[in-house]
């Protein structure tokens, strides 16, 4: 009896030292993390600005991005004008940024007015800049992949990057931490604020060499 208790005790002790990790199967879902909250700016054929919220996007090449687009007022606009801006949503602009993602410019004529955003024409492309957003990519459509009535994958060339000077670091480049950027959490459909710097890329890993 004593030996049995001793064996059980040793077994439980080893379980504490080496807990079993159980992985839950969740199936196939669009849960790449983090996902950027991108605001795409375009002009329609009459020069009226529009904005939409897009999460499924990222860097495609050194000077190109890719965004998965459904059928929107934005895709209507890009048929007539291949220029666009891509900006990054923040904590301060979260409500308006979410709004332009749930309301279509096809149906709501005063969509942009309701955001309260200040708008001006981009200096290098024929697209609007929303000055409330800290950093903006001026872009031009390079390719539409798998284009159909339901949308396409948009590949766009980065022509230039604009950044509000109040968000520049001492080295003259954007200070990402100060912008209050948010990411989309596709698991629970929430927005998460980006946090502080925790390491140095292409450097910290050298500790294991």
Residue tagged 């209507």 (tokens):
76
Entry pTM:
0.89
Give the whole-angstrom CA distance, residue 106 versus residue 188. Answer: 28
Q: Give the chain's radius of gyration (CA, Å).
A: 23
Distance between CA atoms of residues 91 and 187, nearest Å: 19
* Cα separation, 156 vs 153, whole angstroms: 10
Domains (range + CATH), the chain: 27-194 (2.30.110.10)
Cα dihedral angle (29, 103, 60, 79), rounded to 10 degrees?
130
Q: What does the pLDDT profile of the chain (209 residues) look like in tens digits? A: 545 444 555 556 555 666 788 999 999 999 999 999 999 999 999 999 999 999 999 999 999 999 999 999 999 999 999 999 999 999 999 999 999 999 999 999 999 999 999 999 999 999 999 999 999 999 999 999 999 999 999 999 999 999 999 999 999 999 999 999 999 999 999 999 998 999 999 999 999 99
């Amino acid at each position: 009896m004593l030996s049995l208790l001793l064996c059980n005790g040793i077994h439980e002790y080893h379980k504490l030292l080496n807990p079993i990790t159980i992985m839950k199967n969740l199936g196939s879902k669009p849960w790449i993390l983090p996902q950027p909250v991108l605001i795409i700016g375009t002009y329609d054929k009459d020069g009226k600005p529009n904005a939409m919220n897009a999460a499924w996007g990222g860097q495609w090449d050194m000077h190109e991005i890719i965004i998965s687009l459904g059928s929107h007022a934005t895709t209507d606009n890009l048929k007539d004008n291949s220029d666009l801006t891509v900006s990054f949503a923040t904590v301060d602009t979260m409500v308006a940024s979410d709004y332009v993602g749930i309301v279509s410019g096809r149906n709501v004529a005063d969509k942009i007015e309701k955001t309260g955003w200040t708008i001006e024409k981009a200096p290098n492309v024929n697209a609007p800049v929303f000055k409330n957003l800290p950093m903006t990519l001026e872009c031009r459509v390079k390719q539409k992949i798998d284009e159909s009535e339901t949308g396409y994958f948009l590949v766009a060339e980065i022509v230039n990057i604009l950044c509000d000077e109040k968000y520049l670091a001492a080295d003259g480049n954007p200070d990402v931490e100060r912008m209050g950027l948010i990411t989309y959490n596709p698991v629970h459909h929430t927005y998460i604020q980006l946090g502080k710097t925790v390491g140095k890329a292409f450097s910290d890993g050298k500790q294991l060499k």
